[in-house]
A and B are shown apart, each in its own frame.
Chain A
């Protein structure tokens, strides 16, 4: 197990380097003058340009720039923006809200998605099954921002069940509706995946054995079938985490959450390269770590899987 983790972490290194380089290159190798619009209506004074060029190594080739940036990053230095704001401070300010939103969304996804999938899968062709199939198909086909506006309008403005927007500290109870919207598409996929796997596994030999041994229905389904059916679902949730992060940008806009999505969006607009690369790099690393975690979860879910 330990050796497997180390090997996977080592394998992650070139991927992290490659991914961050692609993002770095996209942000910094932009066509056009990096100082356009930075100094109000007039062109930037030469000393300012000289200082900033030196600070961001703008006169070096992109590879050198990237190496220097990563060198600083490894020492925990995310650099600062053109305006002198520490990127690290800003990230610490913005990340908690997004992290909370993503966690609540994943919890919703697991709770509702898996429950719906189990209910549907246990009795295929029944009422719950039909309901889950039709409703998930509907949810999948409606874009998440349309769902966002509709639920905000219906539950927030008309029925006043949920707060319409999220206040500064992003308290958990206000995040419920945004998280539900963010999770909606993935939730539908999870339910369908769970249903299909459960239905398939219910016919597996080990389930028949468990029943023959005289185990109760609850134990057969809960321990022997559901646990095994979870593997593809967990894989999906991990791979889908990236979509969740992308979706967070949209959702944060709709519900006025002061998170990292808005930060990235705004920083690209104002061409704050350091901020964009910092924020996106952290997101990508989180995404890759989540996928490593998913791989490790397999062994917990299926005792047949061993890593060494």
Chain B
């Protein structure tokens, strides 16, 4: 899969909220105006983010999407599973803004209810990737030597399997039974993407740890007899937070796209799970006659991904003083 780490330098719509007269936040310069009371990097980043319209807009979109996933009933009074075959493939109207799908279900209701599966897959996959990759990268970077070589080779092995290709092989090999519950299907997709997708994060984590390992304060902590766990928790982790958060936010969107692609192929999430990928899968057959069935779930999917990518961009701009 795309190594989103490269986005690091790539995507940077300059946040208009930033002014030349604001000095870089990290280091002593960040303390200007209120002398003697230096702000922490996270404080400074937060102040920066609040003034960035891209962050505000994408955070609001994500907030609405999360509400949609948690309480779909707030957004639509219709049931996504109430379908009338008479209305099959009906176009958008005042009755149903997004029209009806092939089963005669309301596309708007199904799109709203579909948010949950996509967001769940995105969030949980990202969490598992952060856990696996973070752990592997931290151990490899911190202990070095043969531990590092072994773990790095394992990372390379998994890096050699393209994410989408591997996902297709795994998910086709372990098909869901007809009686699999919604959570089982979602769990399977999360597990697959998590096991295959952690390599980039492990690399980010490893390089951060190696960078920090030789810093004076880590040497000092060691000299004072600090245990490995303590050094990792107190010194290494705080340094790794920024790159990991940035990567995680952007890759969350990427995972949602991959989930949709797998569902579109008919092997990711499967009906009766309601998801945008499933909706698009069912719509493609009639894409030429009734494009609205494809268009609306597609738009929601794209807006979600866009929101996460822009959020990641904004957070990176705020957290990385070097880019200023």
Give the complex CA separation of A96 and B167 in angstroms: 24
User: Is A288 among interface residues, defined by CB-CB distance under 8 A?
Assistant: yes
> Judging by beta carbons under 8 Å apart, are B154 and A141 in contact?
no
Across-interface contacts of A143 in B (CB, < 8 A): 257, 260-261, 264, 280, 298, 301-302, 305
Across-interface contacts of B301 in A (CB, < 8 A): 142-143, 146
Give the complex CA separation of A95 and B287 in angstroms: 29
> Judging by beta carbons under 8 Å apart, are A269 and B164 in contact?
no
> Judging by beta carbons under 8 Å apart, are A268 and B302 in contact?
no
> Judging by beta carbons under 8 Å apart, are B2 and A144 in contact?
no
Q: Which of A16, A27, A140 has the most CB of B within 10 A?
A: A140
Binds A, one of B8-16, B34-42, B223-231, B238-246: B8-16
Q: Count the A residues whose beta carbon is within 8 Å of the partner chain — how many?
A: 57
User: Is B19 among interface residues, defined by CB-CB distance under 8 A?
Assistant: no
> Judging by beta carbons under 8 Å apart, are A149 and B294 in contact?
yes
> Judging by beta carbons under 8 Å apart, are B10 and A192 in contact?
yes
User: Is B291 among interface residues, defined by CB-CB distance under 8 A?
Assistant: yes
Chain A, residues 242-267, CB within 8 Å of chain B (1/0): the string is 11011101100100000000001100
Chief secondary structure at chain B's binding surface: helix
User: Is B153 among interface residues, defined by CB-CB distance under 8 A?
Assistant: yes
With both chains docked as a complex, state the minimum distance between the C-beta of A163 and any C-beta of chain B, in angstroms.
15
Q: Count the B residues whose beta carbon is within 8 Å of the partner chain — how many?
A: 49
> Judging by beta carbons under 8 Å apart, are B6 and A137 in contact?
no
User: Is A71 among interface residues, defined by CB-CB distance under 8 A?
Assistant: no
> Judging by beta carbons under 8 Å apart, are A242 and B163 in contact?
yes
> Judging by beta carbons under 8 Å apart, are B165 and A268 in contact?
no
User: Is B218 among interface residues, defined by CB-CB distance under 8 A?
Assistant: no
> Judging by beta carbons under 8 Å apart, are A240 and B2 in contact?
yes
From B1, B167, B306, give the contact of A137 (CB < 8 A). Answer: B306
- Give B contacts to A, CB under 8 Å: 1-3, 6-7, 9-13, 153-154, 156-158, 160-170, 172-174, 253, 257, 260-261, 264-265, 280, 284, 287-288, 291, 294, 298, 301-303, 305-306, 309-310
- Give A contacts to B, CB under 8 Å: 14-16, 18-19, 22-23, 26-27, 30-31, 133, 136-138, 140-146, 149, 153, 157, 185-186, 189, 192-193, 195-197, 200, 232, 235-236, 239-240, 242-243, 245-247, 249-250, 253, 264-265, 268-269, 276, 280, 283-284, 287-288
A-B pairs with beta carbons under 8 Å apart, 22 shown: A15-B156, A16-B160, A19-B160, A22-B157, A137-B11, A142-B298, A145-B264, A149-B284, A189-B6, A196-B9, A196-B10, A232-B9, A236-B3, A239-B3, A242-B1, A242-B160, A242-B161, A245-B162, A246-B1, A250-B164, A250-B261, A253-B265
The 6 closest A-B pairs by CB, nearest first: A246-B164, A242-B162, A18-B157, A141-B306, A192-B10, A19-B160
For the A-B complex with A246-B165, A269-B172 known, give 9 more contacts whose Cβ atoms are closer than 8 Å: A137-B11, A137-B306, A143-B298, A189-B2, A196-B11, A240-B3, A243-B1, A246-B163, A264-B168
